[in-house]
Amino acid sequence: MKSSGAAADVPTGSQPDSGPPTVHTFARVVDAAAMDTRTTLRLHTGREIPIIGLGTWQLTRDTAGAVEQALALGYRMIDTSGDYGTQPGVGEGIRRSGLPRDESSLVTKVGEDADAYEATRRNPEEFGLD
């Protein structure tokens, strides 16, 4: 996935001289006016992850439908957490979308009091994904 937004790597805390509003993400400045669902950020692993995604906190009605529709609209990142209780709906929406799994990113958080290894190992089962 390629970044379509105008961006430049800058030291943390640096400000561009002028221009449209910017969003600081890690040590990268992204032109906020140029961001869209295809704008990505490169992780230290070399993989890219979309900057904009669908958040599922408090998404209690038709979670699967919302996720399916977001993916149909071009979103490629779904953000959730184990304590949201949205895992089954998120997984169902991803499956119903028909989008190949490697074309989207699923971001989830692990509670600070949880065993991170066990929680991460259990996540695919909670979403019904492989």
Return d(Cα 105, Cα 103) in angstroms, integer: 7
Report how far apart, in Å, the C-alpha atoms of 1 and of each of 11, 30, 41, 103 are: 24, 16, 10, 8
The residues, ordered by sequence, that sit 6+ positions from 14 with a Cβ below 8 Å of its Cβ are: 29
The residues, ordered by sequence, that sit 6+ positions from 12 with a Cβ below 8 Å of its Cβ are: 24, 26, 27
Tell me whether strands 48-50 and 54-55 are parallel, antiparallel or unpaired: unpaired
Are the beta carbons of 63 and 53 closer than 8 angstroms? no
> Which amino acids are annotated catalytic?
84
Return d(Cα 40, Cα 5) in angstroms, integer: 8
